[in-house]
Amino acid sequence: MSITVFIGLLCGYHDSYNSFYIAVLVQAANNAYDSFGLLNGYNRFITILQFLSFLGAIASIVIAILSFAGVLTGSPVQAYIVIGMLSVPILHFLIEIFVMIITEKY
């Protein structure tokens, strides 16, 4: 997933904002689908991160649609905010790796 985020979003960002927001829509739909299944949660930590991922995906979809409609102009700051919202699953994955290494469960 992190490779998809890196290639799809950052390469789309360097090409044009339209292709960037197409990549945003695809990745946001993927994040929303993945997060929605885990919102029942296994523990509080997983549920909170999946909820943040779901909200970030929904907000990214709204921003992408508004930019296609011409309401928002493309800017690098806006693109970085969207990338940050879509990177919550990567943060969750890195936290899980760190916990597994600390507790020696790898």
pLDDT single digits (tens) 46-97: 778 888 889 999 999 999 999 888 888 777 788 888 888 988 888 888 888 8
- Percentage of the chain beyond pLDDT 90 is 12
The answer to whether 20 and 12 are in contact (CB under 8 A) is yes
pLDDT of residue 96: 84
Rounded (10°) CA dihedral 40, 97, 26, 36: 0
Please provide the average confidence, as pLDDT, over all residues in the chain: 81
Domain residue limits at 70: 2-102
Domain count, the chain: 1
Residues ≥6 apart with Cβ < 8 Å to 42: none
